[in-house]
């Protein structure tokens, strides 16, 4: 029995040593999200858009109009509350999905920002953004967002 336990422990250590383990601190993507929302609070759309990844900007050319339209219709962001975060991945890149409660004048929304860092050493940038109005449940999405997959275990 003791030999089996020792064998299992060595096998587990061998598996862990062979893995590429990476520590990812949520503070970095949250800091980028803070810059994004702070820019929207001050009405600086250009600074807000600077937080988006180049591939997002190349794919979603309408996003500046979406954000600008919200600013025009409801005013700047007045309140942000981080509701949750979840670690995700995009290939080899570490990512975080951050969920916020956002207030713009009379408009309340739930927003998800998907931020990634290329191979963990590049700056964190927004790769996807989803806004859901809480009054009408209308949703608009731009860029890439993670898909949750559930597995049923019998």
pLDDT in tens, 118-134: 866 679 999 999 999 99
Structural domain contains residue 7: no
Mean pLDDT of 78-100: 91
d(CA 149, CA 141): 19
Structural domain contains residue 6: no
pLDDT at 45 over 70: yes
Structural domain contains residue 13: no
pLDDT at 136 over 50: yes
- Of 130, 83, 135, 82, the C-alpha closest to 108 is 135
Confidence class for position 150, pLDDT limits 50, 70, 90: low
Overall pTM > 0.75: yes
Q: Average per-residue pLDDT in the chain?
A: 83
pLDDT in tens, 8-18: 334 443 434 44
CATH number for position 120: 3.10.450.50
Residue 103 contacts by C-beta under 8 Å, 6 or more apart in sequence? 77, 78, 79, 80, 109
Under 8 Å between Cβ of 104 and 77: yes
Structural domain contains residue 12: no
How many domains are there within the chain? Answer: 1
Structural domain contains residue 90: yes
- Its domain, for residue 38, covers 24-143
């Amino acid at each position: 029995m003791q030999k089996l336990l020792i064998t299992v422990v060595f096998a587990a250590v061998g598996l862990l040593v062979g893995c590429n383990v990476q520590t990812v601190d949520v503070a970095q993507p949250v800091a980028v999200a803070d810059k994004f929302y702070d820019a929207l609070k001050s009405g600086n759309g250009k600074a807000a858009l600077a937080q988006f990844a180049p591939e997002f900007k190349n794919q979603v050319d309408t996003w500046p109009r979406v954000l600008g339209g919200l600013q025009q219709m409801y005013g700047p962001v007045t309140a942000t509350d981080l509701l949750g975060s979840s670690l995700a991945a995009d290939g080899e890149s570490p990512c975080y999905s951050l969920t916020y409660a956002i207030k713009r004048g009379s408009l309340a929304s739930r927003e998800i920002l998907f931020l990634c860092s290329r191979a963990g050493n590049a700056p964190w940038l927004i790769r996807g953004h989803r806004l859901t109005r809480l009054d009408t449940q209308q949703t608009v999405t731009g860029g890439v967002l993670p898909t949750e997959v559930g597995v049923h275990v019998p």
